Structures are given as structure tokens and as C-alpha cells.
Amino acid sequence: MKRFSPILTALLVPIAFAQESPSRISPVVKAVQNASPAVVNISTEKVVSVREFNPFGQDWILDFFEPYTRRNVTRQSLGSGVIIRPDGTVLTNEHVILPASIITVTLSDGSDYPAELIGASRRFDLAILKINADISFPYINPGSSDDLMIGETVIAIGNPFGLSSSVTTGVISALNRSITLKDETSRRTHTYHDFIQTDSSINPGNSGGPLLNINGELIGINTAIYANAEGIGFAIPIDKARRIIDDLIEKGKVPRIWMGVQVQELTPLLAQHLQYPGPSGVLIAEVRTGSPGSEAGLKPGDILLSLGGRSVQTPSQFREYLREYTPGDVIEIELWQRGRTTVRTIHGTEFPEDRGEELTWELLGLNIGVLDAASAQRNRMRSATGILVISVREGSPAHQVGIRRGDAVVHADGQAIQNPKQFHRAVQQAAYRDSITCVVVRGGTAYRVTLELE
């Protein structure tokens, strides 16, 4: 054997022995072997009705007046997920499974199971499924992402382009990445924060699959939402996901956080009046009595400088950052208060049910009131049934879809609205879904609009 080169020696070794050679079982191989059984392929189906142009249909006379036909089409999508509990609880991305009427989960051994949606959050792009089978499943316990290091090895497992159980490796390229994307349905932009950036390939179909560290611990959920990415991928840190998993499992939704603080733009004139020398910040205009902000010592006239360590320069930025938190989170904020910089800690809570008016202003940018006969007449309505838009915050979801002062709102999510209290309740329910559909009347014409909540 001494005359044989290392390459020739390797070729003479039986294949079965080579596969079992401990020297070839690297940490990456061990991590993949341990985690792969818990990685699933998720396929969804939804039947939708589409309208088609049909100039040569059999009923040609009818088609002359209405040259369109409708037919049902089954739309399908593929993605990945990871089982996080032995009872078949699956963590994945929200955009992988919505909208869907049929969800099928395929395990690494090829077995298929139906699954049901337990809860989903568009704000966090996460969803929880439950496999409908009374057996014990392989699973991965969520690890920790608070000690990640740039440059450390990571492993992505998923089903890119429908190719099951594909593995890619790379390193963490950056932490706390923010990405701004346009929603093609609503045409609004959404900014996602705190992503893990990696050079491990994450393609369509990988979304929802696990990102592992070299020890095989679950540190993130891969997401392929950034279509322009080349040679880079992004993942949601598991510590961020962990905060809302229990809410999705127990409530099927993620409540909105409440600070009880209203902010406005800090103009140069206001900054001069308050003797504030800094370059940026937002002015705290109102602090609700008994709110978390009030208990933390915030006062109207304070200038908010940062939220959770991130600089706040505009009111919209403040609301954007606040969306990243859930009730129970502790938020550290930096203030300019009484001529000096100070740091306060706020313990966020769930929005109280009796704060519907405040919630409507925060999430939609709408201030509403009773629809009187004169306003109904101006909008050429037969009766004063609905609510009146008193004011609209510039740049808010309501403003972006075209709602204006003096409009009437008569329906919200399919429910007839007769008074402000009804509308406030509808907004509170919509806050968990992150959108609300309204029927708005202006000048005798009714418009159906969908508002993406801030």
C-alpha cells in the first residue's frame, strides 16, 4: 500500500466504508443530519375565480355585450417550514401560506400530511401551522440569536424551486439589516428590520426553512422576500420569532403594543422654542394618563431621540419602529427632557379595548365622528347611516388610499357601520390582521378600499 498515492488509496476504499468514515463527518454534516428530519416542504392551494376575455364563446350574442367569462383557477405555491414541537407545530413565513385554502406538509421521508393554520402575522412575516396527525414528529428546539457573530458559519435548509431537502452553507455577513419593499397588492412600502444577512443562498421555496449555526441550533427563519438579492440571503432572528410564537399558538394573532404616546414633527421653530440643540428627534405631543408612557415619566414637550437604540427622526419612523414590538416587551428610549438627555424604560402593554379612538388614529390616521344629515346630503346619500371623516393624517394609510375629510364610511370588513363606536371595534379586530376593507362614499359614489394598518 505504500506505493499507492492518497488519491488511489481513496478510490480503493469501499464506498460503504467511506460513507461511515468519521473523518468526513464534519460539524456541518452532523448539523444537517440532526436537523433535516424536522424540515418540511409546504405546498398550498387556493381556488380563485378569474375573468377572461372570450370574444368567440358559444353564446356569441351574450358575449358581444359581456365578452368575458369566469372560471375557477387553482393557484399553488411552495415553501419550507420547520417543526418546533413534537406535536407537529410548524414555524414558517406568513407569505408562504397566505392566502391558502389547502395546506399540505411533506416530511423528509416523503410522507404527506394535511395542516391547518393556527396563526399568522404579516407584520413579522411569520406563521404557525399544526400538522393533523396523532404521532410524535422530529423537531428542532429554537436556539438563540442574541450572540451571533459576523463571519460565523451558518446552514440553510429548505426546498428551493421545489427541490426538497436542499442544503446551502455560508457565513453571517451582517446583523440588524433593514429592507424596504413594495407590496404589489397594496402598492405601499414595508420596512422589515433586524434581519440576519448571510451569503448562504436563499431562493424561492427556501422561505420558512431553518437557518442553523454550526452546532445545528435554530437561529433564524429564512425568507426570500428580497427579489433583487444576488449572492445574499436574509433570515428572521429566532429571538424575534420566539417573542410571538406563543401569541400565534395561543391567540392566533399578535396584539399591538400600546405606549399611550402621540408624537409630531419637530420643526426648527419648535426646537428653538424648547432650546433643543440637537439635529433630529420627534416631539411628544400627548401622553395618555395611566399609559405605559406616562408611568415611565414621559411628558408632552419632551423630544424623543431614539427607540430601542435606533435614532428616530420622523413620526412615521417612530410608528414603524414601534410595530416591531409586542405587548410585554421592554423598550429603552432616549429623551431630551428638561434641558438634558435621559434614558427611560417603557413596559409596553396591549391596546386597551376602550382606546379605539386612539388606535384608529395611530393605525389608520383617521379621526371620525357622527354622520349628520347635512354631511350625508353633501355626499348625496339617501340617509345619514355611517360615520363622518373629520380629519386624515397626512401620509397615513387612510391618506394614501385617498380618503379625505368629509367622506362617509358606511362599511368596514363587510359590516354596516352606523356609529363611531362600531368602527373603532372593527379597527381593533382588524389590528390583528393588519388590514381593513372599507366602503367610502363621496359625492354619491361608493368606493371600496383596503387599508394596510401601520
Which residue among 43, 77, 80, 125 is the active-site one?
Answer: 125
Question: What pTM, to 2 d.p., does this model score?
Answer: 0.77
On whether residue 173 sits in a domain, the answer given is yes
- Is the Cα dihedral 129, 133, 135, 138 positive or negative? negative
**Cell 499507492 belongs to residue:** 4
State whether 228 and 290 are in the same domain: no
User: Is residue 24 scored above 90 in pLDDT?
Assistant: no
State whether 188 and 214 are in the same domain: yes
The end-to-end CA distance of the chain, in Å, is 72
**Cell 375565480 belongs to residue:** 49
pLDDT at 85: 94
Query: CATH number, domain at 411?
Result: 2.30.42.10
Which residue among 43, 77, 80, 95 is the active-site one?
Answer: 95
pLDDT at 422: 93
| Alpha-carbon gap, residue 304 to 278, rounded angstroms | 11
On whether residue 279 sits in a domain, the answer given is yes
pLDDT at 65: 47
- Which whole number is the average pLDDT over 412-418? 91
| Alpha-carbon gap, residue 95 to 161, rounded angstroms | 16
State whether 61 and 190 are in the same domain: yes
State whether 238 and 278 are in the same domain: no
On whether residue 8 sits in a domain, the answer given is no
Beta bridge partners of residue 48, listed in sequence order: 73
Arithmetic mean of pLDDT over the chain: 83
Q: Which three cell numbers stand for residue 344?
A: 427611560
State whether 365 and 439 are in the same domain: yes
Contacts of 443 (CB under 8 A, 6+ apart): 379, 380
Q: Which three cell numbers stand for residue 177?
A: 439589516
| Backbone phi, psi, residue 249, to 5° | -70, -45
Residue 290 belongs to what domain range? Answer: 257-350
Q: How confident is the model at residue 62 (pLDDT cuts 50, 70, 90)?
A: very low
On whether residue 181 sits in a domain, the answer given is yes
Q: Which three cell numbers stand for residue 112?
A: 404527506
| Alpha-carbon gap, residue 59 to 191, rounded angstroms | 49
Residue (of 311, 363, 302, 323) closest to 122 by Cα position: 323
User: Is residue 255 scored above 90 in pLDDT?
Assistant: no
Instruction: From 350, 385, 410, give the residue that closes a domain.
Output: 350
User: Does 239 participate in catalysis according to the annotation?
Assistant: no
User: Is residue 403 scored above 50 in pLDDT?
Assistant: yes
Contact between residue 103 and residue 114 where contact means Cβ atoms under 8 Å apart: yes
On whether residue 202 sits in a domain, the answer given is yes
pLDDT at 70: 53
State whether 43 and 66 are in the same domain: yes
Instruction: From 326, 350, 374, give the residue that closes a domain.
Output: 350
On whether residue 16 sits in a domain, the answer given is no
Give Cα separations from 341 to 77, 226, 377, 452 (angstroms).
51, 38, 53, 35
Contact between residue 97 and residue 53 where contact means Cβ atoms under 8 Å apart: no
What is the greatest pairwise CA distance in the chain?
103
Contacts of 204 (CB under 8 A, 6+ apart): 78, 160, 161, 224
Residue 13: Cβ-neighbour burial (10 angstroms; 0-12, 13-18, 19+): exposed
| Alpha-carbon gap, residue 240 to 243, rounded angstroms | 6
On whether residue 17 sits in a domain, the answer given is no
State whether 139 and 268 are in the same domain: no
User: Does 411 participate in catalysis according to the annotation?
Assistant: no
Can you give the three-state secondary structure of 328-394, one letter per residue? CCEEEEEEEECCEEEEEEEECEECCHHHHHHHHHHHHCEEEEECCHHHHHHCCCCCCCCEEEEEECC
- Which whole number is the average pLDDT over 157-171? 79
Give 297 or 15, the one with higher predicted confidence: 297
Instruction: From 229, 254, 279, give the residue that closes a domain.
Output: 254
State whether 296 and 403 are in the same domain: no
| Alpha-carbon gap, residue 345 to 298, rounded angstroms | 10
Question: What total number of domains does the chain contain?
Answer: 3
Residue 360: Cβ-neighbour burial (10 angstroms; 0-12, 13-18, 19+): buried
The CA dihedral of 111, 116, 121, 126, to the nearest 10 degrees, is: -10
Provide, rounded to the nearest whole percent, the portion of the chain with pLDDT above 70: 83
Query: CATH number, domain at 95?
Result: 2.40.10.120
State whether 386 and 325 are in the same domain: no
Q: Which three cell numbers stand for residue 266?
A: 419637530
User: Does 49 participate in catalysis according to the annotation?
Assistant: no
State whether 158 and 55 are in the same domain: yes
pLDDT at 300: 93
On whether residue 97 sits in a domain, the answer given is yes
State whether 195 and 282 are in the same domain: no
State whether 50 and 121 are in the same domain: yes
Q: How confident is the model at residue 395 (pLDDT cuts 50, 70, 90)?
A: confident
- The interaxial angle of helices 420-430 and 356-364, nearest 10 deg, is 60
